[in-house]
């Protein structure tokens, strides 16, 4: 379980290219620890730097609350009720 953040970061990093759109569906994500938050932050920075669009969709209530409490939600622009994206 500890490696989940590293796996996410490594696999998504391969997809980051200028003009690309990456969608992370968080439907089945019920828990996120500091590794997961770190992975999202790293992907945010890499995507933004590369001119890539990163969408997070289907954030559950707990995940949305965690992102809000850590001010990560403010980095993302609302795209719909259950999604947000990097502007």
Residue 2 is predicted with a pLDDT of 52
Tell me if residue 25 falls in helix, strand or coil.
Answer: strand
Q: CATH classification of 4-85, choosing from 2.30.110.10, 2.60.40.10, 3.30.750.24, 3.40.50.280?
A: 3.30.750.24
- Token pair 């439907």 in the structure block, residue: 27
Tell me if residue 78 falls in helix, strand or coil.
Answer: strand
Using pLDDT thresholds of 50, 70 and 90, give the confidence band for residue 5. confident
Helix axes 4-13, 34-50, angle to 10 degrees: 10
- Token pair 């992907």 in the structure block, residue: 43
Length of the chain: 87
- Delimit the domains of the chain by residue range: 4-85
User: Tens digits of per-residue pLDDT, 19-77?
Assistant: 999 988 888 999 898 889 999 999 999 999 999 988 888 888 899 899 889 888 878 76
d(CA 62, CA 64): 5
């Amino acid at each position: 379980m500890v490696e989940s953040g590293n796996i996410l970061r490594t696999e998504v990093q391969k997809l980051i290219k200028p003009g690309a759109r990456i969608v992370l569906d968080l439907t089945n994500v019920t828990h996120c620890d500091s590794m997961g938050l770190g992975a999202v932050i790293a992907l945010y920075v890499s995507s933004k730097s590369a001119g890539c669009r990163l969408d997070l969709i289907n954030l559950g209530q707990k995940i949305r609350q965690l992102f809000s409490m850590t001010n990560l939600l403010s980095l993302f622009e609302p795209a719909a009720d259950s999604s947000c994206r990097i502007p």
